[in-house]
Amino acid sequence: MRALVVEDNVAQLNGLAEIIEETFPDIECLKAACYDDALALADSHSIQLFLLDIQLGADPDKDGITLGEQLRRNPRYQTTPILYVTALVNEAPRAIHKTNCYDYLVKPYSQQDLIESVSKLLNLSLIREEPIELTDRDGVLARIRPDNILYIKSELRNMHVHTTTGLFISTGTRLSVFADSLPSYFARCHKSFIVNLHHVDTYDKVTAMVSLDTPDYQWIPVGRKYATEFGHRLKASTTAHKHVEQA
């Protein structure tokens, strides 16, 4: 799951992201200090939660509420939760009216206030992962839920997307580009493979292989270039239903 944190005060920006990632290990925070950078990140990644400071610099046409309105024009983000941060209480009604935000925090707020606001959104199940659109070799469009994907393999200029219901072969998208559209519980472990960390059963560092909890107990290689980062991502990933063994 990805959150986009937008705050023009860099110290506060880093602090917000750090609190969220430490409290909610399944949330990866992207950070932007201005309106334009925020839009660029929202366009190039799949975001499930926005945390926006209302006052973003001196340009009144590029404040957090205007940013929220622009995000709402994107079909992907018409219902994505927005949590606003503001030092001005009278800005909150405008934010709610303009962007249908789900909650807001008034500065100064405590760390516990932030945690409770994010928890409320998670507990209310407001955050939904949008299906990913892929085109097969015959030009047929499919919409696949990310949590149904087990792993992706790049092979002969095609992407072999292995899901809980079968194999889908997609064309026209590079693996590195596709990776940016996936939630944070996916990790690249090899130049040709991306795996769903929630389906990793065993990571054998001696043989540099990962096994998945698929019916055929699929084994996937871990490339030397990706091993360190993959190990960190796997360790940080938490799942409620099982423990991952790292040999």
- State the DSSP string of 100-111: --SEEEESS--H
Q: What's the confidence (pLDDT) of residue 241?
A: 37
End-to-end CA distance of the chain: 27
Q: What's the confidence (pLDDT) of residue 192?
A: 95
Among 123, 158, 187, residue at a domain's last position: 123
| C-beta of residue 157 within 8 angstroms of C-beta of residue 148 | no
Phi-psi region of 172 (alpha: psi -120 to 50; beta: other; left: phi over 0): left
Q: Which of 216, 218, 213, 172 is nearest to 193 (CA)?
A: 218
Q: What's the confidence (pLDDT) of residue 133?
A: 82
Q: What's the confidence (pLDDT) of residue 80?
A: 86
Q: What's the confidence (pLDDT) of residue 14?
A: 96
- Strand 82-86 to 103-106 pairing: parallel
CB atoms within 10 A of CB 50: 25
> What is the total count of domains within the chain?
2
Among 123, 140, 166, residue at a domain's last position: 123
Please, what are the averages of pLDDT over each run of 10 residues along the chain (247 residues)?
A: 92 94 89 95 89 86 91 86 82 71 83 90 64 81 86 91 89 82 88 93 92 83 94 70 46
Q: Which of 129, 224, 126, 225 is nearest to 185 (CA)?
A: 129
Largest CA distance in the chain: 60
CATH code of 45's domain: 3.40.50.2300
One domain for residues 8 and 78: yes
One domain for residues 84 and 147: no
One domain for residues 28 and 141: no
One domain for residues 81 and 52: yes
pTM over 0.75: no
H-type alpha helices, 57-213: 64-72, 92-99, 111-123, 175-179
One domain for residues 142 and 40: no
Residue 89's domain spans which residues? 2-123
The strand pairing partners of 219, in sequence order, are 211
Among 123, 157, 188, residue at a domain's last position: 123
One domain for residues 111 and 136: no
One domain for residues 37 and 56: yes
Determine the Cα–Cα distance for residues 110 and 245; give it in Å rounded to an integer.
37
Name every residue whose Cβ is closer than 8 Å to that of residue 96 and which is 6 or more positions away in sequence: 104
- Angle between helical axes of 35-44 and 64-72 (0-180°, round to 10): 20
- Which position has the token pair 């239903």? 241
| C-beta of residue 219 within 8 angstroms of C-beta of residue 151 | no
